[in-house]
Chains A and B, each alone.
Chain A
Amino acid sequence: MSKYTEDDLREELKTKEYEYGFYTDIESETFPNGLNEDIVRAISKKKEEPEWMTEWRLEAFKVWKEMTEPEWANVQYEKPDFQAISYYSAPNSKPKYDSIDEVDPELLATFEKLGISLDEQKKLAGVAMDVVVDSVSVATTFKKTLAEKGIIFMSISEAIQEYPELVKKYIGTVVPQKDNFYAALNSAVFSDGSFCYIPKGVRCPMELSTYFRINQAGTGQFERTLVIADQGSYVSYLEGCTAPSRDENQLHAAVVELIALDDAEIKYSTVQNWYPGNAEGKGGVFNFVTKRGLCEKNAKISWTQVETGSAVTWKYPSCVLKGDNSVGEFYSIAVTNNYQQADTGTKMIHLGKNTKSTIISKGISAGKSQNSYRGLVQISSRADNARNFSQCDSLLMGNECGAHTFPYIEAKNKSAQIEHEATTSKIGEDQIFYCNQRGIDTEKAIALIVNGFSKEVLNKLPMEFAVEAQKLLEISLEGSVG
């Protein structure tokens, strides 16, 4: 990668056709609202999927019809009308703006604070991109490096075409179609997503990121990700980005499946900063995500998430520790402000012997928001010497918000060792005073304290992400202190 310079890129682009044209002809294609069998078939057909995939979707749809929306989460929202949504809209690649001057200045100011380069800013805001820095081309070089190692990294629709046997073997094995209401919906109508396969014994040389994804164009609201790490391999996967996404879709129901075969390790990091609605709680994205990983022998899955966006978040990245000696980790920061509601946490299902799991969850609530941790630690009767440590800390800012903890701990084995602790506190006036004394204004002081509070989790993020995430926390809590 280091050898690849801008000159190379320019050279490459000269000889290459500008790819934009390819997209424009499908640009306005949108299906009618509503969901029925025909729509599911049509989505499948549109993507030229094989017969088994269509059947798989239809099966999911049948189950979904029988299901009702879950109501147990500690969130309140107006339920989306599932018949008023269009389930297929082709990626809208037409630039929204012709120049960056037309973009909402508030959005630009946020970019500025996050330290995002001008070109990235343009891309994120939907400004027409200068061809030289088009990340699509950068991605091509990535693809080359990956291909050398035998790593498959592409959109899931492509994977269904090119590696049907892999997809068929693993899709739905960790999150079955009938797992829950939103997973079933996703299984029926998923538009696109990413697929990643790391061959035996390969250590993926770079952080795979959807941010620089080969097929970048709109993954849509029903994203499906499947990551398979074959025996002894390692991959670190990044999802989302710190920049605020002004997504028009209100409902997001993604499914992420991770499979770590024997001795493999997957590190999955997420930064989510979707539109949280305005200060009065109007609008905002509903984020109902099912994420789960399966660990075979000696495998390890580590989830790290920074959740600052969305009006309603409903998300429980989980680990099924099936193999002996497997390890599951969950590190989370969830920040809610204004009228945001987050109900997030994890499930650690210990099935194998000597399995270990760690849960560190930091919740920060400000404004009129509600922030809940909901977690399950389950030790099956065969999981000898299972070990779990959970820590859930909440920070409250102001007295109109709420912080809630709902840990479920189920132990069926006498050799299990489980510790759970939770605390709730606020930022002490003495801490603020200390900072003020030293010339740090209150807002900065709070950012400092919040950063310290969430450090354990921030440290787990890949470096580039960690820096941005830190700033993101600052921005998310801006104006929350009176």
Chain B
Amino acid sequence: MELKEKLVSSFMAFENMVDIDSPIHDIRTEAIKNFETEGFPSKRQEAWKYTSLNSVLKHDYSVFPKHEKALEYSDVKRYFIHEIDTYKIVFIDGKYSSHLSQTTHDGIDVCLMSAALSKPKYRLIIENYFNKIAPKDGLSSLNTAFSAEGAYIHIPKNKLVTKPIQIVHFSTGNEAALMVQPRNLVVVDENSHVQIIERHQSLTDNPVLTNSVTEIFANKRAIVDYYKIQNDRESASLIDNTFINQKQESIAKVHTFSFGGKLTRNNLNFYQNGERLDSTMKGITIIGNKQHVDHNTLVHHIEPNCESHQDYKGIFNDSATGVFNGKVIVEKDAQKTNAFQANNNILISDKASINTKPQLEIFADDVKCSHGCTIGQLDESAMFYLRSRGIPEKEARALLMFAFSNNVLGSVKIPEIKSRITKIIASKLGVNIGFDL
């Protein structure tokens, strides 16, 4: 049976597990209808021109894992940013693990989507925010239809959340093939500040497909700092859909570090619904073998005096393929917009390829918009300089590549993440040197 049919027919089984009387369920039923008509995206669609899901969709995924498996913290510690104290929301095969998690209701809500959807005290937030910015395309609709579990984070007014929040999804390989659809909601009210780290990790070589939707609302003057660490096994694929709605003077930053996975698609959308706000999206992609990473970003400048900054670096080895599709739309009223977009790539192997499409659609005249994109190699003279000072070729190459991707790390606010990413980069480049000299 095709995955699409399987999913549509398993919706009935899903209905037995959730409260079908809640208003959320109307949203779900509408979404499944939407998915039935839209289906999975194909290469014929402009936004999916360079990414084919065929190889990912062919597995017979189990949609509701039957077994539960407990994990010991010591076994998975290394997948956490364990050097610092954090709140943790941990899921194992799509199911919440209270054992590994550390949630809170003390002034802020860092808890579960399932709880938020069912308990009356969250009703107002859910009504106001749930599924308000996720679009009606096939994949988002599919996630909406099966939305039951995920992270729920609500930071009320004037709170500075001192500890970062980690959202970690493990898949244990209990099922031959597993599909999970986490649904996250992050609402940050006026003047509040939060840092979130998200990671998906598969622990075996059984195929996993994650279709995740995250809705983030940054209200007036809120600061949201979001880090996505993607360093999964090559059996795991991730379709990450993140939608961010910003109100005036808010700052939202998303850093995406893509080092792993078989196929990774990041749909990252910023909607600027307020004046004088700032959106930043940055990413480092270092992949090899037959890995595929696709960054599809959108910044919708709707109101005046806003800024957006995009900076994506990619290094592609072996037969890896990379895609960058960045779109900036500046509406007629969004005067005085500053929008920058940069995408730089290095191909290391003859079989690697990169497709990039930085798009600008501008309807306002008093704006500063620019995009730049390059594909090139390491500077031979810089290589020579390093080699002539006794640095071996491999290390010299790694140093240059690290320097190439370093601007992105510059804006990372959590030092532990920075050093973790640095280590991953070193191992990806096959060298054993610390870059923080």
When the two chains form their complex, are residues B357 and A396 in contact, meaning their CB atoms are under 8 A apart? no
Q: Is there a chain A Cβ closer than 8 Å to B406's Cβ?
A: no
Question: Which residues of chain B have C-beta atoms less than 8 A from A410's C-beta?
Answer: 50, 353-356
Question: Which residues of chain A have C-beta atoms less than 8 A from B350's C-beta?
Answer: 381, 413-414
Q: Is there a chain A Cβ closer than 8 Å to B390's Cβ?
A: no
Would you give the shortest CB distance from A44 to chain B, in whole angstroms? Answer: 36
Considering only CB atoms, which chain B residue lies closest to A371 in the complex? B362
Q: Mark A397-430, 1 if CB is under 8 A from B, else 0.
A: 1111111111111111111111111111110000
When the two chains form their complex, are residues B362 and A421 in contact, meaning their CB atoms are under 8 A apart? no
Q: How far is the CA of A255 from the CA of B375 in the complex (A)?
A: 32
Q: Mark B79-119, 1 if CB is under 8 A from A, else 0.
A: 00000000000000000000000000000000000000000
Q: How far is the CA of A426 from the CA of B354 in the complex (A)?
A: 32
Question: Which residues of chain B have C-beta atoms less than 8 A from A72's C-beta?
Answer: 46
When the two chains form their complex, are residues A399 and B365 in contact, meaning their CB atoms are under 8 A apart? yes
Q: How far is the CA of A415 from the CA of B367 in the complex (A)?
A: 35
When the two chains form their complex, are residues B372 and A402 in contact, meaning their CB atoms are under 8 A apart? no
When the two chains form their complex, are residues B375 and A404 in contact, meaning their CB atoms are under 8 A apart? no
Question: Which residues of chain A have C-beta atoms less than 8 A from B284's C-beta?
Answer: none
Q: Is there a chain A Cβ closer than 8 Å to B411's Cβ?
A: no
Q: Is there a chain B Cβ closer than 8 Å to A394's Cβ?
A: yes
Question: Which residues of chain B have C-beta atoms less than 8 A from A412's C-beta?
Answer: 352-353
> Which chain A residues in 362-402 approach chain B with CB under 8 Å?
379, 381, 394, 396-402
Q: Mark B366-385, 1 if CB is under 8 A from A, else 0.
A: 11111111111100000000
When the two chains form their complex, are residues A413 and B347 in contact, meaning their CB atoms are under 8 A apart? yes
Q: Mark B321-355, 1 if CB is under 8 A from A, else 0.
A: 00000000000100100000000010111111111
Interface size on A, residues (CB 8 A): 35
Picked from A398, A400, A405, the residue with its CB within 8 Å of the CB of B360 is A405
When the two chains form their complex, are residues A399 and B332 in contact, meaning their CB atoms are under 8 A apart? yes
When the two chains form their complex, are residues B375 and A411 in contact, meaning their CB atoms are under 8 A apart? yes
Q: Is there a chain A Cβ closer than 8 Å to B29's Cβ?
A: no
When the two chains form their complex, are residues B370 and A417 in contact, meaning their CB atoms are under 8 A apart? no
By secondary structure, the A interface counts as: strand
Q: How far is the CA of A414 from the CA of B320 in the complex (A)?
A: 12
By secondary structure, the B interface counts as: strand
Would you give the shortest CB distance from A62 to chain B, in whole angstroms? Answer: 24
Q: How far is the CA of A410 from the CA of B50 in the complex (A)?
A: 10
Q: Is there a chain A Cβ closer than 8 Å to B361's Cβ?
A: yes
Question: Which residues of chain A have C-beta atoms less than 8 A from B369's C-beta?
Answer: 423-424
When the two chains form their complex, are residues B374 and A419 in contact, meaning their CB atoms are under 8 A apart? yes
When the two chains form their complex, are residues A420 and B374 in contact, meaning their CB atoms are under 8 A apart? yes
When the two chains form their complex, are residues A409 and B375 in contact, meaning their CB atoms are under 8 A apart? yes
When the two chains form their complex, are residues A404 and B372 in contact, meaning their CB atoms are under 8 A apart? no
Question: Which residues of chain A have C-beta atoms less than 8 A from B50's C-beta?
Answer: 410
Q: How far is the CA of A76 from the CA of B263 in the complex (A)?
A: 36
When the two chains form their complex, are residues B348 and A404 in contact, meaning their CB atoms are under 8 A apart? no
Q: Is there a chain A Cβ closer than 8 Å to B206's Cβ?
A: no
Q: How far is the CA of A418 from the CA of B373 in the complex (A)?
A: 8
When the two chains form their complex, are residues A411 and B370 in contact, meaning their CB atoms are under 8 A apart? no
> Which chain B residues in 189-211 approach chain A with CB under 8 Å?
none
When the two chains form their complex, are residues B362 and A426 in contact, meaning their CB atoms are under 8 A apart? no
Q: How far is the CA of A72 from the CA of B360 in the complex (A)?
A: 16
When the two chains form their complex, are residues B373 and A424 in contact, meaning their CB atoms are under 8 A apart? no
Q: How far is the CA of A401 from the CA of B365 in the complex (A)?
A: 8
When the two chains form their complex, are residues B359 and A417 in contact, meaning their CB atoms are under 8 A apart? no
When the two chains form their complex, are residues A411 and B360 in contact, meaning their CB atoms are under 8 A apart? no
Q: Is there a chain A Cβ closer than 8 Å to B156's Cβ?
A: no
Question: Which residues of chain B have C-beta atoms less than 8 A from A399's C-beta?
Answer: 332, 335, 363-366
Question: Which residues of chain B have C-beta atoms less than 8 A from A418's C-beta?
Answer: 373-376
Q: How far is the CA of A399 from the CA of B46 in the complex (A)?
A: 28
Q: How far is the CA of A397 from the CA of B372 in the complex (A)?
A: 23
When the two chains form their complex, are residues A398 and B376 in contact, meaning their CB atoms are under 8 A apart? no
Q: Is there a chain A Cβ closer than 8 Å to B173's Cβ?
A: no
Picked from B332, B366, B367, B375, the residue with its CB within 8 Å of the CB of A417 is B375
When the two chains form their complex, are residues A414 and B360 in contact, meaning their CB atoms are under 8 A apart? no
Question: Which residues of chain A have C-beta atoms less than 8 A from B347's C-beta?
Answer: 411, 413-414, 416
Q: How far is the CA of A405 from the CA of B357 in the complex (A)?
A: 9
Question: Which residues of chain B have C-beta atoms less than 8 A from A402's C-beta?
Answer: 361-363
Would you give the shortest CB distance from B378 to chain A, in whole angstroms? Answer: 11
Q: How far is the CA of A394 from the CA of B350 in the complex (A)?
A: 35
Question: Which residues of chain B have C-beta atoms less than 8 A from A404's C-beta?
Answer: 359-362
Q: How far is the CA of A420 from the CA of B354 in the complex (A)?
A: 14
Q: How far is the CA of A406 from the CA of B360 in the complex (A)?
A: 7
When the two chains form their complex, are residues B352 and A420 in contact, meaning their CB atoms are under 8 A apart? no
Would you give the shortest CB distance from A41 to chain B, in whole angstroms? Answer: 35
When the two chains form their complex, are residues B358 and A407 in contact, meaning their CB atoms are under 8 A apart? yes
Would you give the shortest CB distance from A190 to chain B, in whole angstroms? Answer: 30
Q: How far is the CA of A168 from the CA of B263 in the complex (A)?
A: 47
Q: How far is the CA of A396 from the CA of B359 in the complex (A)?
A: 17
Report which residue of B335, B375, B377 has the largest number of chain A beta carbons within 10 angstroms of its beta carbon. B375
When the two chains form their complex, are residues A396 and B365 in contact, meaning their CB atoms are under 8 A apart? yes
Question: Which residues of chain A have C-beta atoms less than 8 A from B351's C-beta?
Answer: 381
Question: Which residues of chain B have C-beta atoms less than 8 A from A411's C-beta?
Answer: 345, 347, 353-355, 375
When the two chains form their complex, are residues A406 and B359 in contact, meaning their CB atoms are under 8 A apart? yes
Considering only CB atoms, which chain A residue lies closest to B345 in the complex? A411
Q: How far is the CA of A5 from the CA of B350 in the complex (A)?
A: 62
When the two chains form their complex, are residues B370 and A421 in contact, meaning their CB atoms are under 8 A apart? yes
Q: How far is the CA of A290 from the CA of B202 in the complex (A)?
A: 50
Picked from B46, B335, B373, the residue with its CB within 8 Å of the CB of A409 is B373
Considering only CB atoms, which chain B residue lies closest to A366 in the complex? B365
Question: Which residues of chain A have C-beta atoms less than 8 A from B357's C-beta?
Answer: 406-409
Considering only CB atoms, which chain A residue lies closest to B370 in the complex? A423
Would you give the shortest CB distance from B114 to chain A, in whole angstroms? Answer: 42
Question: Which residues of chain B have C-beta atoms less than 8 A from A403's C-beta?
Answer: 360, 362
When the two chains form their complex, are residues B376 and A397 in contact, meaning their CB atoms are under 8 A apart? no
Would you give the shortest CB distance from A445 to chain B, in whole angstroms? Answer: 17
Q: How far is the CA of A92 from the CA of B197 in the complex (A)?
A: 72
Please name 21 pairs of A and B residues whose Cβ atoms are closer than 8 Å in the assembled complex, sorted by A.
Answer: A381-B350, A381-B351, A397-B365, A399-B332, A399-B364, A401-B365, A402-B362, A402-B363, A405-B361, A408-B357, A414-B350, A416-B347, A416-B375, A416-B376, A417-B374, A418-B374, A418-B375, A420-B371, A420-B374, A424-B360, A425-B367
Ordered nearest first, which 6 A-B pairs have the shortest CB separation? A396-B365, A414-B347, A418-B375, A412-B353, A405-B360, A424-B369
